[in-house]
Amino acid sequence: MLTCVSPSLEHYAERHSAPAGALYEALAIDTQASTDRPQMQVGRIEGSLLKLLTSLTRAERALELGTFTGYSTLKIAEGLKEGGTVTTLELDPQYAALARRYFSQSPVGHRVDLRVGPALQTLASLPGPYDLVFIDADKESYPRYFELCVERVRPGGLLIIDNVLWSGKVDDADYQDAETAAIRELNRIIAQDPRVEAVMLTVRDGITLARRR
Ligand SMILES: C[S@@+](CC[C@H](N)C(=O)[O-])C[C@H]1O[C@@H](n2cnc3c(N)ncnc32)[C@H](O)[C@@H]1O
């Protein structure tokens, strides 16, 4: 994944953001050692942003698509109001098992409801409403995920969508693969959707914030 700023500026920003804490550092090391795609983890900057956005929206009910090993899930859980829950959806049972190990060690782990299976299928049993949704699962389903999630977010609630710049491929006609095409399609849909007010942030791999009207 390419970031929008140089690696050294990215590290500078990281060093000047809230420290993640020992559990997150251990989770990052474990993810690096035991998974094939550790770069999928949101990391310190985006993790801190997720926690802040969750607390700023005073979210009590959050939904996440794409748990991986649980870094972003725990950051959202940290930002929830007391008594709140984040429901997180993951396809891969091995990633889910690693995530569970860290949820059980976290003081906010009891706020997490992890569901293993294809997100499109699991979503059918989750009517919402949610205060906040974070979309970070398989990219080819992004347009469908957005449609299903926008219906489940309460007015004034927030959708957060990761990887909307896709290492710059969205703006490069040389890339016509299915994932890039789906993210382009999603970006086009959101920009024209009267149900949301959106801004695309050039943070990390691109993050869209869309507030439900
Ligand atoms: C980019 S990673 C998520 C990273 C995570 N948010 C974090 O910060 O650690 C995407 C995740 O979506 C999962 N995934 C892929 N297809 C899925 C599907 N159809 N349903 C649910 N999860 C899926 C992948 O297994 C992977 O763990």
The pLDDT of residue 187:
98
Condensed to tens digits (0 to 9), the pLDDT of residues 67-97 reads 999 999 999 999 999 999 999 999 999 999 9
CA 9 – CA 149 distance, rounded (Å): 33
Q: For ligand 1, atom 27, which residue shows the shortest CA distance?
A: 68
pLDDT number for residue 3:
79
Residue 2: is its pLDDT beyond 80?
no
CA geometry: angle at 25 spanning 83 and 108, to 5°? 10
Q: Are strands 112-116 and 61-65 parallel, antiparallel or unpaired?
A: unpaired
Q: Is the pLDDT of residue 189 over 90?
A: yes
Distance between CA atoms of 11 and 124, rounded to whole angstroms?
Answer: 40
Give me ligand 1 centre to Cα 154, in Å: 24
Task: Give 137 Cα–ligand 1 centroid separation in angstroms.
Answer: 4
Of 138, 145, 164, the residue with max ligand 1 atoms within 8 A of its CB, to mutate for a pocket test, comes to 138
Catalogue all structural domains in the chain, each as residue range(s) with its CATH number. 7-212 (3.40.50.150)
Mutate to test the pocket of ligand 1, among 46, 53, 136 (most ligand atoms within 8 A of CB): 136
pLDDT digits (tens, 9 = 90+) for 18-57: 999 999 999 999 999 999 999 999 999 999 999 999 999 9
- Would the pLDDT of 1 be above 80? no
Quote the pLDDT of residue 174. 97
